[in-house]
């Protein structure tokens, strides 16, 4: 079966996904019987191209690598913005990968509404529209018999969302606790090793974990967005960003880190969700945890989430929470899930 894809936003994640198609396309066809054809790419900086016949992902990647844009790729249609791509393209699935804005959710939310209105499935790794408008977008998709995949919004390609939704909800999720921001976890790990906060943040930026504006990471907004997403998806409680009791790590000093270390403990920025009577308590805050805590040994930019359930006890998933191929992989997972549920 063939799926035609229009990609909005061709930065690291879009290119990571294109690399996966370039390098693993034949295996995916053999393993799952699917072929993914990129028919459109729209990017504010790199340009916009559409061809119903599709592009070779290698050509797209080469063009960006050699010239920084898509200008040199032959295409009958050019210059479409995100909404035009979502609406006019010949795609079955719109892959929305534009930059994250956790205050407005734009422009991604507009792209997603346009895609659903045009009868196209959606896959996104963008936290903004999912944290702010998931209930509305999921309802739009449901009414139209379409799918919206959001695996990459939490822990990139580490399968935290679909596992939680499909395989753990029936076990009765009593609590969710996670290390959901790689930048903060990296900074805390490096500070424990003797680095300064500033140096560690710079390294996280150099390594590409941090958002364009790292305030969102270190003040806990990024982790709070993920907590909101998990509350909506796993607990069915439509909380918003303001419902998360949020504190970041920027107030932690080297002395705080040393004091915890001397006491055999460790600081972690932990996102927590706990059902309450008729709602859910949500928080993101630095916590001093004992070294025996299931999340204490998760170091560097790695993420983790522990689902505490009635029937299974604790189930912890540990893995990457960011990265080009890692987040690109989440797009593939969502696409395969669309295929799985449609056959
Ligand atoms: N800036 C995020 C992090 C990237 O550090 O975890 C993934 O959402």
Residue 39 exposure: Cα atoms within 13 Å on the Cβ side: 18
In the predicted model, what is the mean pLDDT of the chain?
96
Given the residues 120, 127, 226, 268, select the one marked as catalytic. Answer: 226
Sole residue written with tokens 């004992």? 290
Q: How far is the CA of 32 from the centre of ligand 1 (A)?
A: 30
Instruction: Please check the confidence at residue 210 and state whether its pLDDT lies above 90.
Output: no
Question: Are residues 126 and 213 part of one domain?
Answer: no
200 and 282: one domain?
yes
Query: Is the model's pLDDT at 217 over the cut of 90?
Result: yes
Res. 343 pLDDT band, cuts 50 70 90: confident
Residue 330 lies in a domain: yes
CB of 216 sitting under 6 A from ligand 1: no
In angstroms, the CA 168 to CA 23 distance is 32
At 17, which CATH number? 3.40.50.720
Q: Is ligand 1 within 6 A of the CB of residue 209?
A: yes
Ligand 1 center to 89 CA (angstroms): 30
Give the tens place of pLDDT for each residue, 284-300.
999 999 999 989 999 99
Q: Is residue 292 part of a domain?
A: yes
Q: What is the pLDDT of residues 7-50, one digit of tens each?
A: 999 999 999 999 999 999 999 999 999 999 999 999 999 999 99
Q: Residue 41: in which H helix or E strand, if any?
A: strand 35-43
The whole domain housing 30 covers: 2-157+324-342
Considering the domain architecture, whether residues 101 and 219 belong to the same structural domain is answered as no
For residue 100, the ligand 1 atom closest to its alpha carbon is 8
Is the confidence at residue 278, as pLDDT, over 90? no
Longest alpha-carbon distance in the chain: 65
Q: Are 122 and 147 in contact (CB under 8 A)?
A: yes
* Geometric angle at alpha carbon 44, from 40 and 45, rounded to 5°: 105
CATH number for position 256: 3.30.360.10
**114-152 pLDDT tens trace:** 999 999 999 999 999 999 999 999 999 999 999 999 999
Instruction: Give me 202's structure tokens.
Output: 């710079």
Nearest CA to ligand 1 atom 8: 322
How far is Cα 154 from Cα 307, in angstroms, rounded to an integer?
A: 14
Mean pLDDT of 234-259: 95
For residue 163, being part of any structural domain is answered with no
**Residue 212: pLDDT over 80:** no
Do 43 and 16 share a structural domain? yes
> Is 208 a residue whose pLDDT tops 90?
no
Looking at the structure of the chain, the number of domains it has is 2
Is residue 123 within 8 Å of residue 17, measured between CB atoms? Answer: no
- Whole-angstrom distance, CA of residue 304 vs CA of residue 294: 9
Q: Does residue 313 sit within a domain?
A: yes
Rounded CA separation 255/194 (Å):
11
Which pTM does this prediction carry? Answer: 0.95
The answer on 198 and 126 residing in a single domain is no
Q: Identify whether 37 is part of a domain.
A: yes
Known catalytic residue: 174?
Answer: no
Q: Say yes or no: 312 and 247 in one domain.
A: yes
Q: Is residue 254 a part of any domain in this protein? A: yes
CA separation for the pair 229, 102 (Å, rounded): 12
Q: Whose CA is nearest to atom 4 of ligand 1?
A: 322
């Amino acid at each position: 079966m063939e799926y035609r894809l229009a990609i909005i936003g061709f930065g690291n994640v879009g290119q990571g996904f294109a690399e996966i198609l370039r390098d693993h396309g034949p295996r995916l066809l053999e393993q799952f019987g699917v072929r993914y054809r990129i028919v459109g790419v729209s990017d504010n900086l790199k340009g916009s191209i559409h061809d119903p016949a599709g592009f070779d992902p290698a050509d797209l990647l080469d063009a960006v690598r050699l010239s920084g844009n898509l200008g040199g790729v032959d295409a009958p249609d050019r210059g479409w913005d995100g909404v035009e791509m979502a609406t006019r393209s010949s795609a079955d699935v719109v892959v929305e990968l534009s930059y994250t804005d956790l205050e407005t959710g734009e422009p991604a939310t507009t792209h997603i509404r346009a895609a659903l209105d045009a009868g196209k499935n959606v896959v996104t790794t963008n936290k903004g529209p999912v944290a702010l408008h998931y209930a509305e977008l999921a309802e739009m998709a449901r009414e139209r018999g379409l799918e919206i995949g959001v695996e990459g919004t939490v822990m990139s390609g580490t399968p935290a969302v679909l596992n939680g939704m499909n395989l753990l909800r029936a076990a009765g999720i009593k609590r969710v606790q996670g290390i959901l921001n790689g930048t903060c976890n990296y900074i805390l790990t490096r500070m424990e090793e003797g680095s300064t906060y500033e140096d560690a943040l710079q390294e996280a930026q150099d390594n590409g974990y941090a958002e364009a504006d790292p305030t969102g990471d270190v003040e806990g907004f990024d982790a709070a967005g993920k907590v909101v997403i998990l509350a909506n998806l796993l607990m069915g409680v439509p909380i918003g960003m303001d419902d998360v009791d949020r504190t970041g790590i920027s107030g932690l000093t080297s002395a705080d880190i040393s004091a915890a270390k001397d006491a055999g403990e460790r600081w972690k920025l932990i996102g927590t969700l706990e059902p309450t009577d008729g709602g859910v308590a949500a928080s993101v805050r630095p916590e001093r945890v004992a070294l025996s805590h299931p999340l204490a040994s998760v170091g560097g930019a790695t993420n983790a989430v522990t689902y505490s359930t009635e029937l299974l006890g604790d189930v912890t998933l540990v893995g990457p929470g960011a990265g080009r191929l890692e987040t690109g992989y989440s797009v593939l997972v969502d696409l395969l899930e669309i295929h799985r549920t449609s056959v």
